[in-house]
Amino acid sequence: MIQITVPASSANLGAGFDALGIALTLYNRVWIEEADGTVEKPLCIIESVDGTPIPTDETNMIYQSAKLLYERCGHPFKGLHIKQENNIPMTRGLGSSSACLIAGLVGANTLLGSPLSMSDISDLAASLEGHPDNTAPALYGGLVASVMDGGRVHSVSVPVSDRIRFAVFIPDFELKTEVARGILPKQVLREDAVYNLSRAALMTASLFSGRLENLRVAVQDRLHQPYRFQLIADADKVFYTAYELGAYAVAISGAGPSILAIIDIDNKDFIEKAKKELQNSELEGWQVTLLSCDMNGVSVSFQ
């Protein structure tokens, strides 16, 4: 078997809607090998090694994406044996679906001797997901700016300042991406577009350069967060708590409902204090964990 390790990711970072994403030090692990089925009747064996409920048939996203890559490469597909360890919470805005897509594509590509480049896999993953803001960070690591153009993904991954960490507030309820996207308006005002473009550029430059005093302005957004806020119970309290405890910036992670706070490395009591504030505010359904930026992206090892 080969092991694929894929990081979680947080998309948008406020103003960078469908364009910015960052890989985080929270990982799904997948073990995969070819199964002894036939082309006419592929064998599907899928296990959850940590007890997380997952699809164990052909609807499994890792299985589907791996099968697709076999077909794209013109290689006979006889089935797969897959084991999953799911540490990235599902439907929480932390890139769980992108992690599955990347695991399946990279795993299948490795089994076939790597006929596709990382760029090819990035294009395929983004076409399956619909946008590259989670798939590109999961693949490359780091802070990633991505654009889809004519079916191709153009991405740049850069490191972020070593002065920052990420506090992720994760609730005990789900928010499906299609619901969070469905609430957004079809058209936006030009001044709102300019508002977001300028702040997305500022966010990228500030995280890379360490000009962290800019982040509270850079994270502001008019394109998606004002609409999604209403779908996340007590989001206002979480935002307020994070800022009161000294966060540089706070944003909805991806489509939500998780919330990402960017904090200073020296703010060592942030997590402990945040947990107490959540408890005092009777927000017991929220958990908060401290993560860093993963700079490596997906990795493969041979068992």
Please check whether residues 187 and 284 belong to one and the same domain: yes
Angle, helix 61-72 to helix 118-129, in steps of 10 degrees: 130
Closest CA to 4 of 58, 79, 56, 80: 80
Q: How many CB atoms lie within 10 A of CB 288?
A: 22
What DSSP state is assigned to residue 112? T
- Looking at residue 131, which CATH number applies to its domain? 3.30.230.10
Helix (H) and strand (E) counts for the chain?
A: 10, 11
Q: Which two tokens stand for residue 284?
A: 């017991």
Specify whether 93 is located in the same domain as 196.
no
Q: Are residues 20 and 73 in the same domain?
A: yes
84 burial level (CB within 10 Å; 0-12, 13-18, 19+): buried
Regarding whether 99 and 8 lie in a shared domain, the answer is yes
Relative to beta strand 2-11, strand 299-302 is antiparallel
Domain termination residue (choose one: 159, 175, 204): 159
Report, as an integer, the average pLDDT of 28-54.
Answer: 95
Secondary structure (3-state) at 106? helix
Query: End of a domain among 159, 190, 221?
Result: 159
Is 122 in the same domain as 193? Answer: no
pLDDT digits (tens, 9 = 90+) for 136-184: 999 999 999 999 999 899 999 999 999 999 999 999 999 988 999 999 9
Does residue 202 share a domain with residue 141?
no
Q: Tell me which residue of 75, 74, 155, 64 sits closest to 105, measured CA to CA.
A: 64
Model pTM score: 0.94
- Each residue of 59-79: pLDDT tens digit? 999 999 999 999 999 999 999
3-state secondary structure of 253: coil
pLDDT in tens, 84-112: 999 999 999 999 999 999 999 999 999 99
Q: Choose among 116, 122, 120: nearest CA to 137.
A: 122
pLDDT at 121: 97
Q: How confident is the model at residue 283 (pLDDT cuts 50, 70, 90)?
A: confident
> What's the rounded Cα separation, in Å, for the pair 215 and 256?
20
CB 126 within 8 A of CB 144: no
What is the pLDDT averaged over residues 255-282?
A: 95
C-alpha span between 115 and 109 (Å, rounded):
6
Query: The domain containing residue 238 runs over which residues?
Result: 164-291
What does pLDDT average to over the chain?
A: 96
User: pLDDT tens digit string along 194-240?
Assistant: 999 999 999 999 999 999 999 999 999 999 999 999 999 999 999 99
Count of structural domains, the chain: 2
Q: Are residues 97 and 47 in the same domain?
A: yes
Question: Are 184 and 101 members of one domain?
Answer: no
DSSP-assigned beta bridge partners for residue 299: 5
> Residue 276 maps to which CATH number?
3.30.70.890
Counting Cα atoms < 13 Å in the Cβ hemisphere of 1 gives 12
Assess whether 89 and 188 both reside in one domain: no
